Structure 1
């Protein structure tokens, strides 16, 4: 019997190995709503995606079969009791919509998929994946909003006095054997939850910032390992965040308390415990929760956090502790926004930075150089007498005498006592900690974040050493999606700086800077959306940002300048209606287009079409003779701005996009209407702002010429003339750019489209002013807000000019989408001058797209990887058309076709797989 079992065991092993090696295609990386095994989604018809793997070239999926079960044993046995698609003839491996029986709230589902290759041969079933629902309807959320019941200060200056953050406490029982447990929680502004003395999860500054009257995000945590049989205790401490801001008057005029949806810190949530016998306990927030003041005396998103460790009550996290004469929570209406599961990546500590140096510039005053500008907080490890107060001030720069320069990080440019009653004369970033004494104490703030490289430390007991302080880098925990490097060291350093800048500005909004403002500007979206997505998976992050735009859309249809909206409305399309400049309103539709182009998500186009149409109709009503005149124009340009041209060009682009979306969604009447209007707008721009005799747009600056070319306002000889005029303006500046944030992004697109990467390279490679090299030569570790160095006003950590990162991927590596979701790909590297190698990849929703090339003598080597289920057009630099792939002439390679020759490129059509080409330059 034992011998029989042993033989059977080995037979199963070898049979499994045989199947693994014999299958030609396999599904992997199963995702639901862009996430691996998402915990807590509230979408009733979620989308499923997977990537495909194969060792064979030119493989395709011809059909799939997907099964879903609410029971792991069933899914393990390849049974789907919730939904079975059967064999579906389709090549689609992204955005397969759920069409089974209605999903239940607070439930886990398991799913698997198998696929069929180009010959109809089936793969093995994938490994099981899962997703878990949260509340699917408002009625599923049986918990109250609660607060501590304290009244808001009556006078502005009282907001700046100590007011300890509230902690809510609840003791509860888990009387049976626990199968699993969940915590669903929203806490405004921010929260920190602790169960039985252990912090829940590693999210910080949670939940993400929204227009709270429209939408409030909640998070889901697996707390199974936190709960024990018997008594348990949970405590929730609330920070002010964006929900209870100080009445700071940003730039001396915008009071955030008058602009944002505000209220007393409050929380809603529920613990759900499921026992092994199938029964459940639910512990919701209600009036029975106790309230205790925390040691956090003050906390503000800009001015920092102040903590008195002497006030800590560690026993509150012991379920056996009985409080004397406790206060109880008060039920409150809450902010009224719809509770929505938070799908965008949460903010977390993504890296710990050790100091580069520590200098004592005066007795007891230390300057800590972290060696890197970033967003986050400092963490200290200190031992000293009770009552000792340590102050931490943050800045991006230092003065010539070595002292801290806080001026580029001052909140809202409040520098001359213009912040309102009670506000500091200069609104710098500062945290403080008061020791309780007796042992080593470790502390970092919970409810604030700063932008900084340098920390000024005062009040330290004894000598401050390198191990006493470190930096915690905070950012949305987005997955890395791409990498780039090349033979140009400055470009590699620039790429490093860009990634630090990008990560410093992902705090549930894509912010302009992590210190002075922290706002999500729509114009920045246009400039850097593609660049962000080549580096990181921004799918769910940008879905959230699109909804932010709709949350704050004006009744007129106008889109605001910042989202969430905080009052800024410079160069609005119409006066006093809350509209942003038309160049910043473009962020909304451009993000919709981006989610479709990069991730193939047509659902986004459909869901937001009506909101965009409302915006388009608003813009039509604001136009006059098919033109616009008001705009912020090419922000941070060094030249006189072509306001009328940029305003009208953006108007044209809005109408172009709504026509494109209408066509995509099969709305022929809208498509015809907006297509016709776009033609009229284009002609009006040409008639009013283009000189056919000279090729000059508007005032003839680099920005003006680039806008005209990027929007394809002219063709043929007119286009050639406009481009020649652009080259002349660049030559007149000794090969430098003079563009602002919009035309800089567009410039690289124009040069790529016209095969003039030589010009782009020379501009990008400049080391003097203005340019990226100038920033690096002057010690920058992140991107500046302006081309010029600023030590007083402008941010030194601003993503706007990071659009050049898109150029690295699309022009140097040559990775470009040719259809939505990269189903069709163009690989067209554009080698230039002294660049002798470049390598990198982009992990698309369909899989990794890689491009790596080098030049040895006159020989060009190109290695390419194309995901399964995709096709590609490879443009290989070649002067004589002689090509080999893996050492063989192209003509001898099966399933590979030369489709043309153009501008010293040979164009080859291929399917999926890895390829190695060689050509001669």
Structure 2
């Protein structure tokens, strides 16, 4: 048990006792541990911390470290365990170790630091070898940028000089084991990377390159001895989740001149990552790269939607900060020979790349975009006969991947923070597209480290923002619920239960009346939404989740307590927003969708609420949705359940404003932060409105989990076949295997193809008239007797594991 104390206003007070799993890989019992011991130390360059903010913006070369090691014959295995405070790149004999980038994952390093374990057997030779490490700043040594003119990350994060800790373990065939850790026998020297920052970019001076520095036999006599570092205080834990890797290669589609010695490269799509480009010029030439999601009508770069913290005027970012904190890199040539450049310790979100300082136009074949993302498994797919829906799905998936950078960010350029509101809105959508189990476990632990005992925080890791309220912090609890619902992760429920109970006590202290009366409401709704509606509905959801968790824990007293709390919150929502007229200006779409989604309205009065919701949609521009971060999720579900998914399809399958189709019609390849188009403020790559992909899977594919049978042991398939759509192909990878729900329509019939994994079963719910003929063929079991299937003629029947073809004929008999 870990007792989290009040550490620098971030940790929980000692009353919160947390049963904690230390994130070990149970499947790999032979893995080694990385920990500080008398022979393994944190090491760095030992430079004195800078005394004034302005000094942070000068050159500060990333240190590179080297150590030669001897390897004997008959080596059985070799393992490198490594992590850093900041980022690291490791090489063995000049070759990169692994395929991870921007490692380790961002955490509160006061609490925990994840390390990676690499098999380096194939990189080592008999005899002398060299391991090299270069350190980047990451979020451990950020610039003192005053984001929004006031928020300096150095005042909140655990900060210091970059450092690293590593151990090599050699096992020989004769049973001999040799361990070598980081110590003072390592040497270091400044690298050609003069500056590196996750927001502003990287400066690389090739004139400072040291040929062969990470190869054996290099003369390092003039290098400095590594300096012992205290390192961060956090516990070293083996990573159990995917790392950031190159997940796609993006080929540019166009390049053109935008001024003297300046060119614009159009990558074709907006994405997060870096690039590789072939450069040439004169010795000492500085080639400058800038990045943006848009270009102006004259074709010049528009970088303003990706500017860090909206720093867009002189003095706003603090002493020494740039007037405009745009994304930029610089490469300084050392000679006339062509060279390939790829930044190492930064990442950008961009479609357009401006290159200045070169006289000759680069060839498209000499440029490649490297899309970076946490490499979550992506076995799930959605395809339809609608090009528009497919474009929306592609843009949504690209947006999601762009914002999976070890935390689930809200925008991977301007902020890069892990906001809880976006988790509450989109975690189910992410789960429908990717295997998020281990990523979201890491996310829950990030929140454990971020939460304090007195106020709600907005992000994990905590970056000092604490005004959005319960609807943001409660994401740590709802994420646990979705891990249970979709992956049957009961272990996490049990592990976090006491912590969750203490959090509910905290919520009660902050909102003793039950009504959530502070924080942010339906962010980016086109009309106002009071936090009393959305915040209290999230509190209600938390109470219901805890009621279910208490049932799992056989904690009957708590189960009853949370049941009563849920009933009280539902009553207060009903009294404030349904039983009496709402006099304040409010987005009625969000109002009625929220009340329907959270089952606040009595069953006998539901039709009135549904009629009110329909009227609110009719009164909106183009009869489309005007909802924000939470209302959009709610209205997609409520309108589908209480009216029809066909009505949702009419809205989604449109290019009029506001809507996803409008974004696509305006050239969007990622989802915007706002319904309205923004070319100077709001992110063009934001997951918030990506909830539409959840609707694709849940209603067009019809694949839905059942809480009483978590992890898809038993589930529902209830696809919708709206007019104007002729085909859907959906597959979802559940813990039991792949679920398939396809359908295709022609003039005479609708044909469904279903695949149910082994050891699971499904409740099929199809829309049909009793007079329509329905047939079932079991592809995997030709002996199946359709007449034995109960409920088949009604279109509501159960199937066990296997592959099936179900046909409903349009004509009646």
**Fold shared, TM-score > 0.5 on shorter chain:** yes
Tell me how far apart the structure 2 counterparts of residues 696 and 653 of structure 1 sit (CA, whole Å). Answer: 26
Match of 1:497? 395
Match of 1:523? 421
Tell me how far apart the structure 2 counterparts of residues 415 and 246 of structure 1 sit (CA, whole Å). Answer: 16
1:250 aligns with 2:147: yes
1:473 aligns with 2:371: yes
Please, which moves more after superposition, 188-197 or 467-476?
A: 467-476
User: How far is the alpha carbon of 1:322 from its aligned partner?
Assistant: 2.2
Tell me how far apart the structure 2 counterparts of residues 191 and 806 of structure 1 sit (CA, whole Å). Answer: 36
Per-residue displacement from partner, 1:543-574 (whole Å, max 9, x unpaired)? 11010000111033x55201101111224xxx
Per-residue displacement from partner, 1:604-629 (whole Å, max 9, x unpaired)? 11111122212111111122433221
Contact 2:24 2:238 in 1 (8 A): no
Contact 1:377 1:444 in 2 (8 A): yes
Contact 1:637 1:741 in 2 (8 A): yes
Relative to structure 1, the CA distance from residue 525 to residue 142 in structure 2 (aligned partners, 3 Å threshold; closer, same or farther) is farther
Match of 2:13? none
Relative to structure 1, the CA distance from residue 361 to residue 45 in structure 2 (aligned partners, 3 Å threshold; closer, same or farther) is closer
Relative to structure 1, the CA distance from residue 770 to residue 860 in structure 2 (aligned partners, 3 Å threshold; closer, same or farther) is same
Match of 1:908? 797
1:849 aligns with 2:739: yes
Match of 2:47? 150
Match of 2:26? 46
1:777 aligns with 2:675: no
Gaps of 5+ in 2: 1-20
User: How far is the alpha carbon of 1:478 from its aligned partner?
Assistant: 1.2
What does 1:700-711 correspond to in 2, within 5 Å? Answer: 701-711=588-598
Match of 1:345? 242
Contact 1:388 1:461 in 2 (8 A): no
What does 1:557-596 correspond to in 2, within 5 Å? Answer: 558-571=455-468, 581-596=469-484
What does 1:155-304 correspond to in 2, within 5 Å? Answer: 155-304=52-201
Per-residue displacement from partner, 1:857-879 (whole Å, max 9, x unpaired)? 24111110000100111112221
Per-residue displacement from partner, 1:84-142 (whole Å, max 9, x unpaired)? xxxxxxxxxxxxxxxxxxxxxxxx65xxxxxxxxxxxxxxxxxxxxxx42328x57895
What does 1:92-491 correspond to in 2, within 5 Å? Answer: 132-135=30-33, 143-417=40-314, 418-491=316-389
Match of 1:873? 763
Relative to structure 1, the CA distance from residue 460 to residue 141 in structure 2 (aligned partners, 3 Å threshold; closer, same or farther) is farther
Please, which moves more after superposition, 746-755 or 406-415?
A: 746-755
Contact 1:357 1:370 in 2 (8 A): yes
Tell me how far apart the structure 1 counterparts of residues 777 and 748 of structure 2 sit (CA, whole Å). Answer: 18
> What is the aligned counterpart of 2:529 among 625, 641, 644?
641
Per-residue displacement from partner, 1:152-198 (whole Å, max 9, x unpaired)? 21110100000100011111111342111000000121000011111
User: How far is the alpha carbon of 1:586 from its aligned partner?
Assistant: 2.3
Please, which moves more after superposition, 842-851 or 462-471?
A: 462-471
Match of 1:918? 807
User: How far is the alpha carbon of 1:699 from its aligned partner?
Assistant: 4.3
User: How far is the alpha carbon of 1:881 from its aligned partner?
Assistant: 5.0
Relative to structure 1, the CA distance from residue 809 to residue 474 in structure 2 (aligned partners, 3 Å threshold; closer, same or farther) is same
Contact 1:631 1:646 in 2 (8 A): no
Relative to structure 1, the CA distance from residue 912 to residue 895 in structure 2 (aligned partners, 3 Å threshold; closer, same or farther) is farther
Match of 2:718? 828
3-state DSSP of counterpart to 1:691: coil
Contact 1:481 1:533 in 2 (8 A): no
3-state DSSP of counterpart to 2:448: helix
3-state DSSP of counterpart to 2:106: coil
Contact 2:530 2:586 in 1 (8 A): yes
Contact 2:593 2:639 in 1 (8 A): no
Contact 2:87 2:104 in 1 (8 A): yes
Tell me how far apart the structure 1 counterparts of residues 744 and 567 of structure 2 sit (CA, whole Å). Answer: 44
Relative to structure 1, the CA distance from residue 767 to residue 897 in structure 2 (aligned partners, 3 Å threshold; closer, same or farther) is farther
3-state DSSP of counterpart to 1:421: coil
Per-residue displacement from partner, 1:221-260 (whole Å, max 9, x unpaired)? 1000111111111111000000000000110101010011
Please, which moves more after superposition, 646-655 or 360-369?
A: 646-655
User: How far is the alpha carbon of 1:205 from its aligned partner?
Assistant: 0.3
Per-residue displacement from partner, 1:272-328 (whole Å, max 9, x unpaired)? 111111111111001221011100000000000000111111222222122233311
Match of 2:8? none
Tell me how far apart the structure 2 counterparts of residues 687 and 455 of structure 1 sit (CA, whole Å). Answer: 54
Relative to structure 1, the CA distance from residue 42 to residue 634 in structure 2 (aligned partners, 3 Å threshold; closer, same or farther) is closer
Tell me how far apart the structure 2 counterparts of residues 371 and 158 of structure 1 sit (CA, whole Å). Answer: 38
Gaps of 5+ in 1: 1-40, 48-107, 110-131, 572-580
Contact 1:164 1:298 in 2 (8 A): yes
Relative to structure 1, the CA distance from residue 442 to residue 667 in structure 2 (aligned partners, 3 Å threshold; closer, same or farther) is same
Per-residue displacement from partner, 1:185-226 (whole Å, max 9, x unpaired)? 001210000111111111000000000100101101100011
Contact 1:344 1:508 in 2 (8 A): no
Relative to structure 1, the CA distance from residue 361 to residue 44 in structure 2 (aligned partners, 3 Å threshold; closer, same or farther) is closer
Tell me how far apart the structure 2 counterparts of residues 509 and 474 of structure 1 sit (CA, whole Å). Answer: 13
Contact 1:367 1:457 in 2 (8 A): yes
Tell me how far apart the structure 1 counterparts of residues 499 and 296 of structure 2 sit (CA, whole Å). Answer: 49
Q: Number of residues paired by the alignment?
A: 784
Tell me how far apart the structure 2 counterparts of residues 45 and 182 of structure 1 sit (CA, whole Å). Answer: 16
User: How far is the alpha carbon of 1:787 from its aligned partner?
Assistant: 0.2
Relative to structure 1, the CA distance from residue 642 to residue 759 in structure 2 (aligned partners, 3 Å threshold; closer, same or farther) is farther
Per-residue displacement from partner, 1:690-710 (whole Å, max 9, x unpaired)? 136x79999461111111111
What does 1:53-68 correspond to in 2, within 5 Å? Answer: none
Match of 1:28? none
User: How far is the alpha carbon of 1:437 from its aligned partner?
Assistant: 1.9
Relative to structure 1, the CA distance from residue 665 to residue 874 in structure 2 (aligned partners, 3 Å threshold; closer, same or farther) is same
Relative to structure 1, the CA distance from residue 741 to residue 559 in structure 2 (aligned partners, 3 Å threshold; closer, same or farther) is same
User: How far is the alpha carbon of 1:654 from its aligned partner?
Assistant: 1.5
Who wins on radius of gyration, i.e. which is larger?
A: 1
What is the TM-score normalised by the length of structure 1? Answer: 0.83
Relative to structure 1, the CA distance from residue 464 to residue 583 in structure 2 (aligned partners, 3 Å threshold; closer, same or farther) is same
Contact 1:42 1:134 in 2 (8 A): no
Tell me how far apart the structure 2 counterparts of residues 697 and 763 of structure 1 sit (CA, whole Å). Answer: 27
Match of 2:773? 882
Contact 2:292 2:353 in 1 (8 A): yes
Tell me how far apart the structure 1 counterparts of residues 673 and 144 of structure 2 sit (CA, whole Å). Answer: 26
CA RMSD of aligned residues (A): 2.1
Match of 2:785? 894
Relative to structure 1, the CA distance from residue 897 to residue 258 in structure 2 (aligned partners, 3 Å threshold; closer, same or farther) is farther
Tell me how far apart the structure 1 counterparts of residues 660 and 504 of structure 2 sit (CA, whole Å). Answer: 36
Tell me how far apart the structure 2 counterparts of residues 369 and 241 of structure 1 sit (CA, whole Å). Answer: 28
> What is the aligned counterpart of 2:626 among 717, 725, 738?
738
Tell me how far apart the structure 2 counterparts of residues 748 and 570 of structure 1 sit (CA, whole Å). Answer: 27
What is the TM-score normalised by the length of structure 2? Answer: 0.93
Tell me how far apart the structure 1 counterparts of residues 91 and 265 of structure 2 sit (CA, whole Å). Answer: 32
3-state DSSP of counterpart to 1:532: helix
Relative to structure 1, the CA distance from residue 805 to residue 832 in structure 2 (aligned partners, 3 Å threshold; closer, same or farther) is same
Tell me how far apart the structure 1 counterparts of residues 386 and 265 of structure 2 sit (CA, whole Å). Answer: 31
> What is the aligned counterpart of 1:542 among 440, 455, 462?
440
User: How far is the alpha carbon of 1:502 from its aligned partner?
Assistant: 0.9
User: How far is the alpha carbon of 1:462 from its aligned partner?
Assistant: 2.7
Contact 1:659 1:670 in 2 (8 A): yes
Contact 1:306 1:431 in 2 (8 A): yes
